[in-house]
Structure 1
Amino acid sequence: MAEDIYAHITPVIIVKNGAAHVRRTIGALKPFRQVVVYDNGSTDDTLSLLSEYPNVKVVQGSFMGFGPTKNAAASHAETDWILSLDIDEQVNQKLLDALADWPLEEESKVGEVLRNNYFCGKHIRTNGWGKDWLCRLYNRRQHRFTDSQVHEKVKLDGRSQVVRLKGGLEHEAVTDVGQLLVKTQYYSELYANSERARLYAFPVVVFKAAFRFFRSYFLQLGILSGSRGMMIAVGEATGVFFRYSKVYQRKKFTQKSDKNT
């Protein structure tokens, strides 16, 4: 039964420069007949490493925002059942075992998976990183990701039945503190260019950033995770600050500059 399941579910991953995670993530997907990896411009060893896995189908294309790109990647799968993963997420054995009982004939069902988040090698349950349940298993005949540039999710409707799966994903969220700065730049830029971008008065931007730190470090008990909890809280506050500051700059400074020319 399990072998049949692995032939009818396709893990789909979008990636750019994910060489550091390929062996760990793809290696855990050996039971599946096909794994689709949608590469959007890797310049590291990602592609050469992927070539070592016979069940991996590499598709190369442009990045159109997370939601649209994940939908484009899923269109290349040979099955309708999609297990959506990030390159830094590894399925654990309990999740693989749980998939063996998945009802393939019930297309309205959606599998919700627990993501265990790690910061520099330590599993973090504070800062809002615990109980991170995400809908990742779905049938593309019934469901798809939203078209959001960031914070995409599987779009549910009145027919959807969400089922929590045993096991989960081991997520190497941050392996180096410098990644916090890279992610701040990357995600704030995506947000500022997205349809969700919202302009706030600058004092509100400062307040939102300060509150994000307070919520992460104190309300969500980041203080219990020591230096890691502090780094996460500062990183989240910085992300909020630059996300809305970029919108403010483009709406206020750029418009004023245009009027003066």
Structure 2
Amino acid sequence: MDISVLIVAHDEEKHLADCLASAAFARERVVLLDRCSDRSGEVARGEGVRVVEGAWPLEGDRRNAGIALCTSPWILELDADERVSDQLREELDRVLSAADCTFYYVPMHNYIGAVWVRHGWGAYNGVAAKPALFRKGSKIWGADRVHPRLTLIGEGGWLQGHIDHFVYDDAGALINRLNRYSDAAACDAVLQGRPFRAHRTARRFFTRFYKSYCRRRGYREGWRGVLLALFSALYPVLTHLKALELTERRGRSG
């Protein structure tokens, strides 16, 4: 199939082989490794794919660099903890032969451990769908450290086949992700001079919990739904506090 599958990764030796195996149908598989200290490079080379290693300070920069490396007219962008489902692979063959859009949203099946969690996702935790399939030149990532903004060019469509996304192994992984993402978001906020207001942060805590647990029906997922809602609510609070800490530290050093 004349498509490039792009995987941008950092220390993903545990997930990389399965991700690449699910994309074996592609004419080209490109793995861009950002400052890896584990065996990710060895794993990727063992699969016989194109590997590029380097260091990019911003997530958007490294994703744009990966897109530039791809040589096929169509690109499917995956994270290392994602897998192409059989349904999506079959649909890609049909869609690419008569595509009438420049990018396509692909549904996501998000997992905690081995359990497909259908409800409660949002904010930094995970999304229900994303524009993972696109014609080269129609998707540009913004210059942000966490969840960069996207510029999409042309007409978009939706696919039926899904990507399996193994977001978290367990509750501890949720905590680690919350810590990493709030660190990066706080750094972005300070560098961009974004103001924080205590009343707004407090309001976001409650609205995010309500949105995840009630509106997105996280209550249907038992304890997993509670965790998703709680960590979604804590994200802006931790980002706010870490930004204050970072600003104070920069003031002392400057």
> Same fold, TM exceeding 0.5?
yes
Q: Write the distance in 1 (CA, Å) between the matches of 2:84 and 2:63.
A: 18
Helix, strand or coil for the counterpart of 1:51? helix
* Uncovered stretches (5+) of structure 2, i.e. residues with no partner: none
User: Taking structure 1 as reference, are residues 191 and 107 closer, same or farther at Cα in structure 2, changes over 3 Å only?
Assistant: farther
Instruction: Kindly state the Cα deviation for residue 146 of structure 1 after the two structures are TM-superposed.
Output: 2.9
237-246 vs 69-78, which moves further: 237-246
Tell me what 2:179 maps to.
185
Instruction: Kindly state the Cα deviation for residue 91 of structure 1 after the two structures are TM-superposed.
Output: 0.5
User: Taking structure 1 as reference, are residues 207 and 154 closer, same or farther at Cα in structure 2, changes over 3 Å only?
Assistant: closer
Contact 1:135–1:153 (CA under 8 A) maintained in structure 2: no
Q: Write the distance in 1 (CA, Å) between the matches of 2:161 and 2:129.
A: 11
Q: Write the distance in 2 (CA, Å) between the matches of 1:43 and 1:250.
A: 26
Instruction: Kindly state the Cα deviation for residue 103 of structure 1 after the two structures are TM-superposed.
Output: 4.0
Tell me what 2:118 maps to.
125
Residue 168 (1) aligns with residue 162 (2): yes
Residue 94 (1) aligns with residue 87 (2): yes
* TM-score normalised by length of structure 1: 0.85
**TM-superposition CA deviations, 1:193-249 (whole Å, max 9, x none):** 226663222243233223322322233222221111111112222222111222233
Alignment of 1:1-261 (within 5 A): 6=1, 8-54=2-48, 56-103=49-96, 109-128=102-121, 132-152=128-148, 154-157=150-153, 160-194=154-188, 198-251=194-247, 253-254=248-249, 257=252
Count of aligned positions: 249
User: Greater CA radius of gyration, 1 or 2?
Assistant: 1
Contact 2:28–2:72 (CA under 8 A) maintained in structure 1: no
Tell me what 1:3 maps to.
none
User: Taking structure 1 as reference, are residues 149 and 107 closer, same or farther at Cα in structure 2, changes over 3 Å only?
Assistant: farther
* Uncovered stretches (5+) of structure 1, i.e. residues with no partner: 1-5
Q: Write the distance in 2 (CA, Å) between the matches of 1:149 and 1:243.
A: 13
Contact 1:197–1:247 (CA under 8 A) maintained in structure 2: no
User: Taking structure 1 as reference, are residues 61 and 133 closer, same or farther at Cα in structure 2, changes over 3 Å only?
Assistant: same
Q: Write the distance in 2 (CA, Å) between the matches of 1:95 and 1:254.
A: 48
Letter in 1 for 2:115: K
* TM-score normalised by length of structure 2: 0.87
Q: Write the distance in 1 (CA, Å) between the matches of 2:223 and 2:149.
A: 31
Contact 1:107–1:141 (CA under 8 A) maintained in structure 2: no
Instruction: Kindly state the Cα deviation for residue 154 of structure 1 after the two structures are TM-superposed.
Output: 4.1
Q: Write the distance in 2 (CA, Å) between the matches of 1:107 and 1:39.
A: 32
The percent identity for this pair of structures is: 22
61-70 vs 201-210, which moves further: 201-210
Contact 2:75–2:133 (CA under 8 A) maintained in structure 1: yes
Q: Write the distance in 2 (CA, Å) between the matches of 1:108 and 1:164.
A: 9
168-177 vs 199-208, which moves further: 199-208
Letter in 1 for 2:68: S
